[in-house]
Structure 1
Amino acid sequence: MSEAGEVKGKSFDTLLNKLKQKMHSVYHERSNTDDLAVKRGMPPFAMREIMSANPFSAIIPKEYGGLGGDVKESIALMSAASYESLALSLTFGINMALFLQPVMKSAQEEAKAQVLNRFLTQQNMGGLMITEPDFGSDALSMRTSFTENNGKYHLKGTKHWAGLTGWADYWLLTARKNVGDGKLARDIDYFICDVTQTEQVIEVEEFFENLGLYQIPYGRNKLDIQIPQVQKLIPESSGVKMMLDLLHRSRMSFPGMAMGFIQRMLDEAITHCQQRFVSGKALINYDQVQQRLAELQSRFTIVSAMCVNSTEKAGLKNDLSGIGIEANAVKSIATDMMQAASQTLLQLVGAKGYKLNHIAGRSTVDSRPFQIFEGSNDMLYSQISEAVLKLMRKAKLDNILDFAKGFDLTQRASDIVKDLINFKIDQAMPQRKLVDLGQIFGRVICIDQVSALNEKGFDKKLTDGAVEYLRQEISNLISSFNYSNKTQVIEDYKGNSDWLSFV
Structure 2
Amino acid sequence: MALDQETMQGLLETVSRFVRERLKPLEHQVADEDAIPPDVRREIAELGLFGLSIPEEFGGLGLTMEEEVQVAFELGKTSPAFRSLVGTNNGIGSQGLILDGTEEQKRRYLPRLASGELISSFALTEPEAGSDAASLKTMATRVNGGYAINGTKRFITNAPHAGLFTVFARTDPEQPGARGVSAFLVEAGTPGLILGPNDRKMGQKGSHTCDVIFEDCHVPADALLGEREGQGFRTAMKVLDRGRLHISAICVAMAERLIEDSLRYAMERKQFGQPIAEFQLVQAMLADSRTEAYAARCMVLETARRKDRLEDVATEAACSKLFASEMVGRVADRAVQIHGGAGYMADYGVERFYRDARLFRIYEGTSQIQQLVIARNMAKELS
Common fold: TM-score over 0.5: yes
Question: How large is the Cα RMSD of the aligned pairs?
Answer: 2.7
Shift, 1:64, TM fit? 2.1
Match for residue 96 of structure 1 among 90, 94, 100: 90
Match for residue 160 of structure 1 among 154, 161, 175: 154
Match for residue 275 of structure 1 among 268, 278, 288: 268
Q: Is contact 1:177-1:184 (8 Å) kept?
A: no
Q: Is contact 1:188-1:239 (8 Å) kept?
A: yes
Shift, 1:169, TM fit? 1.3
1:339 alignment partner in structure 2:
329
Shift, 1:164, TM fit? 0.8
SS of residue paired to 2:225? coil
Distance 1:151 1:324 in 2: 38
Distance 1:277 1:331 in 2: 37
Shift, 1:73, TM fit? 3.0
The normalised TM-score by structure 2 is 0.89
Q: Percent identity?
A: 22
Shift, 1:308, TM fit? 1.3
Amino acid at match of 1:228: P
What are the equivalent positions in structure 2 for 1:15-164 lying under 5 Å apart? 15-28=11-24, 32-121=26-115, 123-164=117-158
Amino acid at match of 2:368: D
Query: Structure 1 60/32 Cα, relative in aligned 2: closer, same or farther at 3 Å?
Result: closer
SS of residue paired to 1:79? helix
Query: Structure 1 325/236 Cα, relative in aligned 2: closer, same or farther at 3 Å?
Result: farther
Comparing 36-45 and 234-243, the one that deviates more: 234-243
Match for residue 215 of structure 1 among 186, 195, 206: 206
Alignment deviations for residues 211-239 of structure 1 (CA, whole Å, 9 cap, x no partner): 10011111111023222333322379944
1:256 alignment partner in structure 2:
249
Q: Is contact 1:87-1:215 (8 Å) kept?
A: yes
Shift, 1:185, TM fit? 7.8
Distance 2:292 2:234 in 1: 32
SS of residue paired to 1:41? coil
Match for residue 283 of structure 2 among 281, 290, 294: 290
**Residues 1:360 and 2:350 are matched in the alignment:** yes
Amino acid at match of 1:114: R
**Residues 1:330 and 2:330 are matched in the alignment:** no
Shift, 1:261, TM fit? 0.9
Distance 1:386 1:107 in 2: 30
Distance 2:198 2:213 in 1: 12
Amino acid at match of 1:294: A
Amino acid at match of 2:108: Q
Distance 1:141 1:328 in 2: 21
SS of residue paired to 1:68? coil
1:313 alignment partner in structure 2:
306
Question: Across the two proteins, how many residue pairs are aligned to each other?
Answer: 376
Query: Structure 1 220/65 Cα, relative in aligned 2: closer, same or farther at 3 Å?
Result: closer
The normalised TM-score by structure 1 is 0.69
2:3 alignment partner in structure 1:
none
Unaligned runs of 5+ in 2: 1-5
Amino acid at match of 1:230: D
- When Rg is computed on C-alpha atoms for both structures, the one with the higher figure is 1
Q: Is contact 1:124-1:168 (8 Å) kept?
A: yes
Shift, 1:391, TM fit? 4.6
What are the equivalent positions in structure 2 for 1:8-19 lying under 5 Å apart? 11-19=7-15
2:220 alignment partner in structure 1:
228
Shift, 1:341, TM fit? 1.0
Q: Is contact 2:50-2:115 (8 Å) kept?
A: no
Shift, 1:25, TM fit? 4.5
Q: Is contact 2:79-2:204 (8 Å) kept?
A: no
Query: Structure 1 243/117 Cα, relative in aligned 2: closer, same or farther at 3 Å?
Result: closer
Query: Structure 1 215/261 Cα, relative in aligned 2: closer, same or farther at 3 Å?
Result: same
What are the equivalent positions in structure 2 for 1:298-309 lying under 5 Å apart? 298-309=291-302
